[in-house]
Amino acid sequence: MEAEAVYLKAEEPGAGVGLDLVGLDSGTLADLEAFVRPAAQASRARGVVAPKAEPGPRNIYERIRQLSLHERDKVARQGLLSERVALERTFGASVWEGLLQNSLLTVPEVAQIAKKGTLPQPLVALIVANGGWLASGEVRRALLGNPRVGGVQLDRVLRATPKPELKQIAQMSPYRSQVRMAAKKLMSE
């Protein structure tokens, strides 16, 4: 199949390649639809519920707004990237817990949630307790910038930070004084 790359982005969010398929005839289009169909069926098998179709074109935000509370929670826990982004933008804090339980959640999405100053303590603790997320500098920086991260949680984030980065944190004014002092204390140990 011949295609022309029309979009290329290496970094998240939105990393990927967009292709414009050239010379699609009805047979090739049918083959492509047959190839894509199993992925759509897999979404349904995971229990991701799509709202009932209504006449006329609708974007994902309109579809997400129509979900019941139960369906919204299910999409948060199992939905794909576009669904998760639409959920978070539409419903904000009310879907953060479900999103953090989604196994498909990306590191940039976790960092986006981690930097929210209104993030409840149980969710801060959930992020800090996840070693895989703490291994990411992006998530650590988001947590260090969050005023709700302190005490034992702050210590855990700083202990997960490489020494050279810890030295920078101790000297950088963008971080609050509590973070800088804790970094200095940890470096002197």
Q: Tell me how far apart the alpha carbons of residues 72 and 91 are, in angstroms, rounded to a whole number.
A: 9
Tokens of 95: 């879907």
Chain centre to alpha carbon of residue 122: 18
pLDDT digits (tens, 9 = 90+) for 64-112: 999 999 999 999 999 999 999 999 999 999 999 999 999 999 999 999 9
Neighbours of 182 (CB within 10 A): 22
pTM: 0.68
